[in-house]
């Protein structure tokens, strides 16, 4: 099957060759909640080797799916497409490709979707993305691009038999004036054809539960679609703070105090103590989310396997002792 970026669809049509994420997480039959992991495109050969070590570790642990983020403005576009394609072709994992609208015309976006389809990838997480350079800066649509993720959901759905997910925000998106606005446009993305959403990382499970309630109250049909919570096992306070800042978010004050106490007053944070607290916290969040009926637990890995593997083992989501071979983090 080859892709025609102008017509947007091959003459054969794009039949789905892979299961959808919703099928995968709802057909999980071993009685345990499924889990999934997020990878990021590696920047160089060394980072790529590290990613593959994590990939092989997770392959043994059996995630329902793995997702690959997309760099702001497509800075690592070719490598991202290649590596995501390799995940589809050379592993037993089910990949979800993130796709963002930043700095791309509609033709370029179509051609990206085509590149994924050519590699057998039909699960796409559709995002607007943030302005390159300063993610919190003014959003400027590409002159021939899309303004909101909702339009991209429609575009991808129109291109063929793709399974689309979108982003959701337990604390509300930082550009949304209030939670009602945030809910309205999340529901618009679901009505446009998204089959599920994955949340931004959060640290207060009540925020996730309130998001779920808001969506169900706004539209019961869309509220029945899975909202997959994203968990970050914190191993470095500095890097999680930076990630939160870039997404217009922050740690809850009580947790900030606990992490500060663990990090200590030295010039360098006490990584071991921060990591221990981070793993405990991710485990506690996972336990509560399982009890509250979350459909799947999605872990940010930063391309390291060890911290997430530890949390999975503590939650009893894997029976395999895996950390011995995982990258040291
Ligand atoms: C799970 C997850 C994965 C992510 N992966 C990536 C990634 O790989 N690469 C990357 O660069 N970024 C990624 N992001 C970040 C994401 O791109 C940003 O959070 C971005 O700011 C919002 O994207 P969105 O798709 O939610 O945008 P949209 O749904 O378009 O929403 C953007 C803002 O506009 C508002 N809005 C939406 N529609 C309308 C409308 N019709 N009228 C008025 N207001 C509207 C929304 O309320 C929101 O405030 C990810 C986020 C999450 C949660």
Are 183 and 144 in contact, with CB atoms under 8 Å apart? no
Could you give the CA distance from residue 47 to residue 284 in angstroms, rounded to a whole number?
30
Ligand 1 proximity of 38 Cβ (cutoff 6 Å): no
The one catalytic residue in 12, 38, 230, 320 is 38
Could you give the CA distance from residue 250 to residue 247 in angstroms, rounded to a whole number?
9
Mutate to test the pocket of ligand 1, among 80, 141, 148 (most ligand atoms within 8 A of CB): 148
- Report pLDDT for 8: 40
- Report pLDDT for 3: 46
| 149 Cα nearest atom in ligand 1 | 30
- Report pLDDT for 76: 78
- Report pLDDT for 75: 63
Total residue count of the chain as it appears in this document: 329
276 is annotated as an active-site residue: no
pLDDT in tens, 104-118: 999 999 999 999 999
- Report pLDDT for 38: 98
Could you give the CA distance from residue 155 to residue 194 in angstroms, rounded to a whole number?
11
- Report pLDDT for 260: 94
Mutate to test the pocket of ligand 1, among 37, 97, 127 (most ligand atoms within 8 A of CB): 127
Ligand 1 proximity of 189 Cβ (cutoff 6 Å): yes
- Report pLDDT for 325: 39
- Report pLDDT for 16: 52
Residue 205 φ then ψ, to 5°: -60, -30
- Report pLDDT for 31: 82
Chain-centroid distance, C-alpha 150: 17
Ligand 1 proximity of 176 Cβ (cutoff 6 Å): yes
Q: What is the pTM of this model?
A: 0.93
- Report pLDDT for 135: 87
Domains and CATH numbers, the chain: 21-233+293-304 (3.20.20.220)
**Residues of the chain predicted below pLDDT 50:** 1-15, 321-329
**CA 317 → CA 232, 237, 264, 283, 321, distances in Å?**
16, 26, 32, 11, 11
- Report pLDDT for 308: 98
Strand partners, 59: none
Are 52 and 66 in contact, with CB atoms under 8 Å apart? no
Which stretches of 83-217 are assigned E, i.e. beta strand?
95-100, 123-127, 163-168, 196-199
**CA 64 → CA 13, 67, 191, 261, 304, distances in Å?**
27, 10, 24, 36, 18
- Distance, CA 101 to ligand 1 centroid (Å)? 10
pLDDT in tens, 146-203: 999 999 999 999 999 999 999 999 999 999 999 999 999 999 999 999 999 999 999 9
The set of long-range contacts for 134-137, using a CB threshold of 8 Å and a minimum separation of 24, is 135/72, 135/246, 135/247, 135/248, 136/174, 136/246, 136/248
To the nearest 5 percent, what fractions of the chain are helix, strand and coil? 45, 10, 45
**CA 111 → CA 67, 98, 114, 163, distances in Å?**
19, 14, 5, 17
- Distance, CA 302 to ligand 1 centroid (Å)? 20
Are 65 and 93 in contact, with CB atoms under 8 Å apart? yes
Closest CA to 100 of 40, 66, 146, 50: 146
Report helix angle 271-291 to 205-218, nearest 10.
Answer: 30
- Report pLDDT for 13: 45
- Report pLDDT for 1: 42
Q: Which residue in the block uniquely carries the two structure tokens 């640290």?
A: 203
DSSP calls for 249-317: ----HHHHHHHHHHH-SSSS--HHHHHHHHHHHHHHHHHHHHHTT-S-EEEE-TT--HHHHHHHHHHTS
């Amino acid at each position: 099957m080859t892709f025609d970026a102008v017509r947007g669809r091959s003459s054969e049509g794009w039949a789905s060759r892979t299961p959808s994420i919703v099928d995968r997480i709802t057909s999980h039959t071993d009685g345990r909640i499924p889990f999934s992991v997020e990878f990021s495109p590696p920047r160089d050969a060394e980072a790529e080797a590290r990613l593959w070590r994590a990939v092989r570790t997770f392959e043994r642990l059996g995630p329902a799916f793995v997702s690959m983020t997309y760099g702001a403005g497509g800075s690592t576009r070719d490598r991202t497409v290649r590596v995501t394609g390799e995940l589809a072709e050379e592993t037993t994992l089910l990949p979800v490709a993130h796709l963002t609208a930043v700095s791309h015309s509609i033709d370029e976006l179509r051609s990206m979707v085509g590149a994924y389809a050519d590699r057998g990838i039909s699960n796409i997480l559709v995002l607007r993305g943030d302005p390159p350079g300063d993610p919190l800066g003014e959003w400027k649509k590409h002159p021939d691009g899309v303004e909101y993720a909702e339009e991209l959901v429609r575009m991808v759905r129109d291109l063929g038999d793709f399974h689309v997910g979108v982003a959701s925000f337990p604390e509300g998106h930082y550009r949304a004036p209030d939670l009602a606005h945030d809910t309205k446009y999340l529901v618009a993305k679901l009505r446009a054809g998204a089959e599920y959403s994955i949340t931004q990382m959060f640290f207060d499970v009540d925020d996730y539960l309130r998001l779920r309630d808001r969506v169900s109250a706004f539209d019961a049909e869309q509220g029945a679609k899975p909202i997959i919570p994203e968990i970050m096992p914190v191993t470095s306070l500095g890097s999680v703070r930076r990630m939160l800042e870039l997404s217009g978010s922050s740690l809850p004050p009580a947790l900030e105090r606990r992490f500060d106490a663990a990090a200590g007053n030295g010039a360098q944070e006490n990584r071991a103590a921060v990591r221990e607290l981070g793993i405990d916290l991710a485990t506690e969040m996972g336990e509560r989310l399982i009890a509250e009926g979350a459909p799947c637990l999605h872990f940010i890995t930063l391309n390291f396997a060890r911290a997430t593997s530890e949390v999975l083992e503590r939650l009893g989501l894997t029976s395999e002792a895996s950390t011995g071979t995982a990258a040291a983090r």
